[in-house]
Amino acid sequence: MATRRTTCMCLCLPGATLRLDTWDGWAEFLRGCFLGHRLTVQRHLSRERPVMRFQLRVALYIAASLGHLDLAGWLLERGVRVIEPVGVHPYREWCHQTAHPDVAKCPAVASIERGQLTILKLFIASSVLTLACRDPQGRDPLRIALQYGHRECVSHLATKLCSVVVLPGMALPMRTYLQIKGWVRLGQRRAASRHCMGLNRAPFRTRVGDTVLVDGFTLPKMSSKPRRSEAKAGIRVMSTSSRRLTPINCPSHVSCPLRALASQDKPLQLPKLHPVATRDEREKKRGWEGMLGG
């Protein structure tokens, strides 16, 4: 602990250089998230399932902050929860107790802090528990919106919280309904954890066989470099695009010049053309034919 504090104090000294890098292969992914390009985000998702889930949570958090409605809707369809904290990278979950407090924020809190009313409405429509989420300081959505001064978000949240949920045979206030939903969700999580089915919902999600990075022993994977597989794939695409087009398949009994182009060893042989006869040669030929015929 003393070594970590000394390092932080040295970084804060005037004139110190602080270099911030992203995980390898994340530069294009984060750029697509900030621009709201859904196809770019899809293209640069990791093949490792734990890392991919973390990327989806990061993408939803950025989409909620910047108001990318299309990207947020696609992520909700993929099953990303708006009240689930972003957390830390799966490779760094062994040190989750010393993580930054902001990793406990969820996309719903980010949308309220930035005043993204459209994204907030989408989140509430997808999960009513958005009205009961909390930030790391324990503030509810209405209090967050009041402190940041977003009047439209305050009006929408107050209207939802003061509404009534009509169920078959009864009507419950929204706050009571949220408490019941919270109890049900907590019971489901406890039951799933007891049966070893909720590993992806527990705060500590690393398992035996997962990659773990240890400071001072493991080579860092945060150099902001693209993935090698993606770079090689791009080179292969460029090389295949410069090849010749495959000729049309012609029947065997039809003489097609394209078949000659298909073979690289045999050059294309064109038919021999006879020279065009001049006028004097044609008259001379007619005279010889007349003499022979006479």
Average pLDDT over residues 241-249: 46
Structural domain contains residue 197: no
Q: Looking at the 3D structure of the chain, how many domains does it have?
A: 1
Structural domain contains residue 82: yes
Determine the Cα–Cα distance for residues 286 and 277; give it in Å rounded to an integer: 12
Structural domain contains residue 86: yes
Determine the distance from the C-alpha atom of residue 242 to the mean position of all C-alpha atoms in its chain, rounded to a whole number: 29
SS3 57: helix
User: Which residues have C-beta within 8 Å of that of residue 222, sequence separation ≥ 6?
Assistant: 21, 22, 23, 24
Helices (H) then strands (E): counts for the chain: 13, 2
Q: Model confidence over 163-221: pLDDT tens digits?
A: 998 888 888 899 998 888 888 888 877 787 676 544 444 444 555 566 666 654 555 56
What is the domain extent for residue 135? Answer: 22-163
Structural domain contains residue 64: yes
Structural domain contains residue 180: no
Structural domain contains residue 55: yes
Structural domain contains residue 181: no
pTM: predicted TM-score of the whole model, two decimal places: 0.65
Give the H or E element holding residue 172: strand 170-173
Q: Model confidence over 258-267: pLDDT tens digits?
A: 444 444 444 4
Q: Model confidence over 129-149: pLDDT tens digits?
A: 999 999 999 999 999 999 999
Is the pLDDT score of 253 beyond 70? no
CATH number where 94 lies = 1.25.40.20
**Band of residue 268 on the pLDDT scale cut at 50, 70, 90:** very low
